[in-house]
Chain A
């Protein structure tokens, strides 16, 4: 055995070493060719069809981001699969071969290259992600009550009026409640409705809140997702760019009918939106009068008049009122 091993080329390990350079070259060439093809397919063919589409500036930006990430990941995925398949096909152990594979030693150049390349990719993505967060005004995500990323969004100049093409963002309050969404338009008299209608090519500021538990406002095709928390105003921006319907879902498990918090919104032309808003404001005028004054948050535990109504009516039983502290089933 010792004589055989010392003779070199007759052992499988030695044979592997002699073929290693050729295998490596083939692997490299295959990886480069397949990666180019894969990247082109992901970027040019699959990319335009990736979610959430391009119905708004934010959605389009998200689609581009997913396409970029997918394109960057493609060579990595192809490299792993190619190496795995190559090993299975060509480096499998021959029948009767009981010898060990060649020992693996550290390679400073490969390690340095690996660390440099992966660090560059991660840092570049961090920079890219930050830019993408800033430019489409928060990328459609909730930014809390004082949004930082509002580039391209007009200021909230007036809460009581709005007209197209003015330096005043259209505001829509999104109110989550078990188990439905309602929407308030403060700049049109503050009417509240279950219909979400938006004008095309117009920046919109969603003020998202909840009346009870935590919900999550997810306007999928618009690329908007913002938690609806009781007592909190969570701001998210969008600029719809395509006419048509979009889905609205709750993305936070909120009780037994969570799955039923499913609705459709509509993006219409600016003139159609103005007609709809004015006619709805008139139609719902009587209802609007009994709504509370427009506010950015609701706190269900300190609703105005709860104590007054209870006291006025002498409510002492479970038959009326909220949050009776004497209720034995208070958690």
Chain B
């Protein structure tokens, strides 16, 4: 082989390796779930964000993983992502539709509600309505959940950087905990398909005046089967943890 041919081969091989490295970095390491942008729908200093917890995620290649979904403010459809963007210095009114069964908190400390206020102005509390299989119960304000007394929590929504922690309530009944929707997101026409969440949780909090990115996570190790429950969906963006981008 001539010298120019050798040099050309070497350069091509080098570029191929570099391109492969860049592809891996961008495709696997740098990839993240889509970001649902709520900044354009905020009005009067408030924005409404709707989340959903599901026992399964059939729209992905991990159908048996628990997951959060976020309602797209543009299409109204639930999207498999845990990344969303909200404006700074804004009251965020969150609704979580809880479709999963209960799992007691490993650390009962996370059973307390912090960093929130309810529509009635009660601080460090959330409004909860439980579906008993036939109808929804009254909306009650709860500030502390004892998940070991009656298995009343399925997941948590926590933003540690803002001191926010919200347990997602769960009906403590055998029937409801074994009547989980078989699809994720749960948006079907029947109970099995997810027309009625087991619980509806609402609360509000304020975003900081300055922008920033805040991670949020579930504090129940609900990655069933994985090491100490914290692997799988607990450690994968788009499932049980994500980021809230606050746009200044």
A residues bordering B, Cβ < 8 Å?
A: 175, 177-180, 182, 192, 194, 211-213, 230, 255-257, 260, 284, 286-287, 290-292, 300, 303-306, 309, 312-324, 327-331
Contacts and interface: CB of A to CB of B under 8 A. Distances in A.
Tell me the dominant secondary structure on chain A's binding face.
loop
Contacts of B161: 260
B177 A313 contact: yes
Given A314-B178, A320-B101, A213 B55 contact: no
Contact of B228 (A175, A213, A309, A317): A213
Interface string B45-72: 0000000000110000000101000000
A182 B108 CA distance: 11
A182 B224 contact: no
Given A329-B64, A329-B225, A320 B144 contact: no
B111 A255 contact: no
A274 B172 CA distance: 40
Nearest to A331: B227
A304 B228 CA distance: 16
Nearest to A180: B160
Interface string B112-132: 100000000000000000000
Interface of B: 55-56, 64, 66, 100-104, 106-109, 111-112, 143-144, 146, 148-149, 151, 154, 160-161, 163, 172-174, 177-178, 180, 215, 217, 219, 221, 224-232, 234-237, 241
Contacts, number: 139
Contacts of B215: 257, 260
Nearest to A316: B178
A306 B104 contact: yes
Tell me the dominant secondary structure on chain B's binding face.
loop
A323 B102 CA distance: 14
Contacts of B163: 194
A305 B148 contact: yes
26 contacts: A177-B107, A212-B230, A255-B230, A256-B236, A257-B217, A257-B241, A286-B144, A287-B108, A287-B144, A290-B148, A300-B229, A303-B104, A306-B104, A313-B102, A313-B151, A316-B178, A318-B66, A319-B100, A319-B102, A319-B180, A320-B100, A320-B154, A322-B103, A322-B106, A328-B225, A331-B227
Contacts of B224: 318, 321-324, 327, 329
Given A286-B143, A290-B146, A292-B108, 12 more contacts: A179-B217, A260-B160, A287-B109, A287-B144, A290-B144, A300-B106, A300-B228, A315-B102, A318-B225, A319-B101, A329-B225, A331-B227
Which interface residue of B103, B108, B219, B228 has the most chain A CB atoms within 10 A? B228
B229 A323 contact: yes
Contacts of B107: 175, 177, 182, 211
B109 A322 contact: no
B230 A317 contact: no
A309 B230 contact: no
A330 B225 CA distance: 4
A213 B160 contact: no
A314 B174 contact: yes
Given A287-B144, A319-B180, A182 B100 contact: no
Which interface residue of B172, B225, B236 has the most chain A CB atoms within 10 A? B225
